[in-house]
Amino acid sequence: MNFNEYGFLPPHDYEITLNELRESLLVRGPGDGEPWDVTWRLFLIDQLEVLVQQLWDVGIHQIYIDGSFVEAKAHPNDIDGYFECDVMELATGELERKLNALDPYKVWTWDSNSRKPYRGYTKKQLPMWHRYRVELYPHFGQPSGIKDEYGHDQQFPAAFRKSRDTFLPKGIIKLSR
């Protein structure tokens, strides 16, 4: 795994464990002499691990991460991702209840009313972002709210495999146990 000329992982789903992620280019850096915030990136992985373990504990195993964390950016703001889930478990609130039963901060919600501002950011953030600096969204086949280059809504799998400004294809990380 290496960054391409655009600072992205080449288009592919890179399946790796959290421990492999900690030792990867994404945390250790490209080794080109440019500054790379390894400490911050390790912190983000530790935070991600808390949420991923909770997803695994409720039986969710298709988990993908993306965003500036998987780009050649020395200090990413956070980790973004999505996971595949059952629409009925999400719609009934059962998934949220199960996850919040595991999380001491009860951060599992995607209700837009739960979003709060954070200094220096224009976008309001979910409770999980405020606590963990990670946002993981449920995916069951619905649009993501992210538009493609033609203005059409994309599902998470497509939206997370393109850059949001240039729409160039890029790689994504699939977490495995």
Question: Has residue 76 been placed in a domain?
Answer: yes
**Rounded distance, CA 118 to CA 130, Å?**
8
Give the residue carrying structure tokens 């795994």. 1
Tens of pLDDT, residue by residue over 55-68, are 999 999 999 999 88
Is residue 123, in this structure, part of any structural domain at all?
yes
Residues in CB range of 145: below 8 A, 6 or more apart: 153
- Residue 81 belongs to some domain of the structure: yes
Task: Write out the residue range of the structural domain in which residue 54 sits.
Answer: 13-175
Q: pLDDT of 71-89, one tens digit each?
A: 999 999 999 999 999 999 9
User: Average pLDDT over the chain, rounded to whole?
Assistant: 93
What percentage of the chain has pLDDT greater than the value 70? 100
Structure tokens given for 16: 């790796």
Provide the number of structural domains found in the chain.
1
Q: What is the pLDDT of residues 104-162, one digit of tens each?
A: 999 999 999 999 999 888 889 999 999 999 999 999 988 888 888 999 998 888 888 99
Examine residue 47 and state whether it is found in any structural domain, yes or no. Answer: yes
Task: Evaluate the CA torsion angle 16, 99, 86, 157 in order and state its sign.
Answer: negative
Global confidence as pTM? 0.92
- Give a yes or no: residue 7 inside a domain: no
Is residue 51 in a domain? yes
